[in-house]
Amino acid sequence: MIRYYSTSGSKDLFNLEDAVLQGLAPDGGLFFPDSLPLLPKNFFDSSYHTLSNEEIAAAVLAPFIKGTSAESDLPDIVSTAFNFPAPVVMLSEHLAVLELFHGPTLAFKDFGARFMAALMEKFTSRNNKETVIIVATSGDTGSAVASGFFNKQGIKVCIVFPRNKVSALQEKQLTTPGGNVTAVEIDGTFDDCQRLVKQAFRDTQLNGTINFSSANSINIGRLLPQMVYYFFAYNQVMQTAQHPEIIVPSGNLGNIFAGMLAREIGLPLGKITAANNANASFAEFLRTGVFTPGETIPTYSNAMDVGNPSNFARIQEMYKNKPEVLRQLVAGTSVTDEETLAAIRDLFSTYNYLADPHCATGYAALSHFRPDEQMVLKIILHTAHPAKFGDVIQKAIGKEPEIPERLAHCLSLPSNKISLTNNYAAFADFLKNHY
Ligand SMILES: *Cc1c(COP(=O)(O)O)cnc(C)c1O
């Protein structure tokens, strides 16, 4: 059975259930698997391309869930979590995008949030403790979590967001689910929201009566399932491309770390490139060998606006004894907002393809490298639907994208939210009375 230890150095081991329910290790580090499985050699035999996404996901995740109380639930969990497609769209012979936005909130975060929700529901149904998940969000994470955990038995969700600082569309996504999902707006910034949530986690009085958990992106339960779409992509291209290269628009580095993990357990990927925006601490690290987190800089690809990416600790842990693998395998570069707009225009005029600003950074990143001679297939991860970033698309090509049906639907639903001042006593009172 795989156990999880902390990247901050404590030697304690945790099973998957504790790691998922706790989120962070007690010493503040991130959970990391104590061993990695290797898929059998014949896994990618000629029959691989005939497997369904559910079959692939179950095979890839089985070793990580083996020995836990949810082991026998895995087929059920993957069919609930990954019930939408992840198509590879070929733009030219050697360039493709992997569309990861066909889930309910139109962003790739649905993969992680839906899997974690389904897994947690199984865990909590066995330990019979009602769990309250609190997340502070600047937008996208909150909507994926609200949607993923909606209606899950034994779990309540409290989404905390800054008033007037998420887009109108995002606010609708946060405030319309209802049921077990409560949206709380704070008269403050995202950092204020995060502070309130952290204080609630540390509040011993509250913790005595409420069983808190977090669902933020560093949770290992959100990270492991992100491996699966790299396998889905390979399944679609393996007959023409042996070692496809992947370009990952990167912020907190969870997505790219999942790609590295997929490769470690046997997926034959070629080079992996991190496309950073102006928040380029990872690209700078790859260039100089020195990691210097910075203040967060706002950009058009705002889901990647992360000055101090948490998952860097996991990347370091994975390659600490083999730095040459990281050097050879991973490249990185930083893309400006102007390049991002130009990339959206270029993809639209050259390939008649509408990319969101995050995917566009991936395309722009490619132009920073010399073209290779063998012309290997390059797959850019398309992490969100362009309609979620209509204002940037408008700037780039002069018109807004059409809003897909499932997003338009949520615009017509009634909103429900609780408004609080930026004050811990008021927040604690609300939690006490509500849960
Ligand atoms: C979260 C997010 C990213 C960044 O992913 P990380 O795992 O944080 O590197 C990129 N694009 C979109 C649309 C996102 O929501």
Query: Which pLDDT does position 409 carry in this prediction?
Result: 87
* C-alpha of residue 248 to centroid of ligand 1, in Å: 9
251 CB under 6 A from ligand 1?
yes
160 CB under 6 A from ligand 1?
no
384 CB under 6 A from ligand 1?
yes
From 98, 101, 261, 304, mutation site for ligand 1 pocket: most ligand atoms within 8 A of C-beta: 304
314 CB under 6 A from ligand 1?
no
CA angle 269–275–278, rounded 5-degree value:
165
CA atoms of 7 and 253, how far apart (whole Å)? 15
Residue whose Cα lies nearest atom 1 of ligand 1: it is: 303
Does residue 372 register a pLDDT over 80? no
What pTM was computed for the model? 0.95
277 CB under 6 A from ligand 1?
no
Mean residue pLDDT across the chain:
94
Query: Which pLDDT does position 181 carry in this prediction?
Result: 97
Query: Which pLDDT does position 167 carry in this prediction?
Result: 83
* C-alpha of residue 141 to centroid of ligand 1, in Å: 9
| pLDDT tens-digit series, residues 63-110 | 999 999 999 999 999 999 999 999 999 999 999 999 999 999 999 999
List of residues 6+ apart from 51 with CB closer than 8 A: 59, 235
Query: Which pLDDT does position 427 carry in this prediction?
Result: 97
Does residue 216 register a pLDDT over 90? no
Q: Which atom of ligand 1 is nearest to the CA of 253?
A: 9
**In which band, very low, low, confident or very high, does the pLDDT at 24 lie, cut at 50, 70 and 90?**
confident
Does residue 384 register a pLDDT over 90? yes
Share of the chain above pLDDT 70, in %: 100
User: Nearest CA to 96 among 432, 300, 353, 435?
Assistant: 353
**In which band, very low, low, confident or very high, does the pLDDT at 247 lie, cut at 50, 70 and 90?**
very high
Share of the chain above pLDDT 90, in %: 83
From 108, 248, 359, mutation site for ligand 1 pocket: most ligand atoms within 8 A of C-beta: 108
Does residue 373 register a pLDDT over 80? no
3-state helix, strand, coil in the chain (%, to 5): 45, 15, 40
CA atoms of 370 and 346, how far apart (whole Å)? 18
Query: Which pLDDT does position 57 carry in this prediction?
Result: 98
Query: Which pLDDT does position 296 carry in this prediction?
Result: 86
Query: Which pLDDT does position 46 carry in this prediction?
Result: 83
358 CB under 6 A from ligand 1?
yes
Query: Which pLDDT does position 41 carry in this prediction?
Result: 85
**In which band, very low, low, confident or very high, does the pLDDT at 411 lie, cut at 50, 70 and 90?**
confident
Query: Which pLDDT does position 140 carry in this prediction?
Result: 81
* Crossing angle for the helix pair 424-434 and 190-202, to the nearest 10 degrees: 60
Q: Which of 32-36, 157-161, 370-374, 394-398 has the lowest mean pLDDT?
A: 370-374
* C-alpha of residue 274 to centroid of ligand 1, in Å: 11
Query: Which pLDDT does position 208 carry in this prediction?
Result: 87
347 CB under 6 A from ligand 1?
no
CA atoms of 221 and 120, how far apart (whole Å)? 9
Q: Which of 43-57, 125-139, 145-159, 242-256 has the lowest mean pLDDT?
A: 125-139
Query: Which pLDDT does position 286 carry in this prediction?
Result: 96
Maximum CA pair distance of the chain?
A: 64
Phi, psi of 285 (to 5 degrees): -60, -45
Instruction: Please check whether residue 383 is in contact with residue 358, taking contact to mean a CB–CB distance below 8 angstroms.
Output: yes
User: Nearest CA to 137 among 186, 99, 179?
Assistant: 186
386 CB under 6 A from ligand 1?
no
Does residue 141 register a pLDDT over 90? no
140 CB under 6 A from ligand 1?
yes
- 372 against 99, higher pLDDT: 99
Query: Which pLDDT does position 117 carry in this prediction?
Result: 97
